[in-house]
Structure 1
Amino acid sequence: MSVGFSTAAANTHLDNQGSAYSWIKLHVGDPGAAGTANAAAETTRKQATWGSASGAAKTTSADLVWTNVAGTEDYTHFSMWTASTAGSFGGSGTVTANAVVSADTFTIPAGELDLTLPVAA
């Protein structure tokens, strides 16, 4: 790719993004421009712990665990927020997961939730 961030700028942006928008919410479809569409029945947001960005990528350094999930559904997306409730929407992405049944535990293991930015080549 010939356009994008410098690696240093991408790392700075990702570190700021992960710090500011650390609360993760699950969705069963694209969260949309406001981050509120297709919300999962499981409404609890979990706070992500991120490693430092490197090479224009950043990943979680601890498991995100939802216990006793509220509904039977298939999580396909996540959104990032500034707070455990309310707050400001900062972005979204996709997750690949097996469907869950109500009362299951759902885990996104450390290193499995990633943020990346394109880098100029």
Structure 2
Amino acid sequence: MANNATTALKNGLAALIFNNAALTGLGDAGGLLPSAAAGALYISAHTADPGVGGTQNTSEANYMGYARVAVARTSAGWTVNGANVKNAADVLLPEATGGASNVTFFGIGTAASGAGKLLFKIPATQAYAVTTGVALKIAAGVIDVTVE
């Protein structure tokens, strides 16, 4: 199926999802309104492609000490440029206290733990071997998605 969304819709959805900004001109006068509180999206690490039907815990890293990291749905958390979105600051995953995971994908989802809705999956630019004593740092701009 072809992607038929307009540039205006893609840009508006990116701003709504990542910066909690209203998508104006849709529905009533206010459009699709932002949340009362911006909240956060959660970065997850994955050892394989979680797939388009996966959840946040599909192929999720499981080293001891691992936890998802909250990133605020604001301009401090995400840089939105049209439909393109990048993490605005470094994201530091917790240090491994045991075990190991080979991280090849990152995810952006809705829950701090559990199955949660996986909204975006991003292939890592390289495989990251996380072993005891290692904390994975995802530099600003590395998580790069386009709302299609």
Shift of 1:57: 0.3
Structure 1 unaligned segments of length 5 or more: list them: none
Who is 1:47 aligned against? 70
CA distance in 2, matches of 1:114, 1:72: 25
Who is 2:88 aligned against? 61
Who is 1:23 aligned against? 42
Structure 2 unaligned segments of length 5 or more: list them: 21-38, 72-76
Q: Give % identity.
A: 24
Closer/same/farther in 2, CA of residues 31 and 11 from structure 1, 3 Å limit = same
3-state SS of 1:25 partner: strand
Residues 27 and 76, structure 1, Cα contact 8 Å, conserved in 2: yes
Closer/same/farther in 2, CA of residues 4 and 67 from structure 1, 3 Å limit = same
Please say which of residues 31-40 and 13-22 is displaced more in the overlay.
13-22
Residues 27 and 40, structure 1, Cα contact 8 Å, conserved in 2: yes
TM-score (norm 2): 0.65
Runs of at least 4 residues off by over 6 Å:
none
Aligned length: 116
| Matching residue within 74, 77, 86 for 2:102 | 74
Shift of 1:3: 4.6
TM-score (norm 1): 0.77
Amino acid at match of 2:99: G
Closer/same/farther in 2, CA of residues 21 and 77 from structure 1, 3 Å limit = farther
Closer/same/farther in 2, CA of residues 9 and 30 from structure 1, 3 Å limit = same
Residues 46 and 64, structure 1, Cα contact 8 Å, conserved in 2: yes
Superposition CA RMSD, Å: 2.4
More strand by share: 2
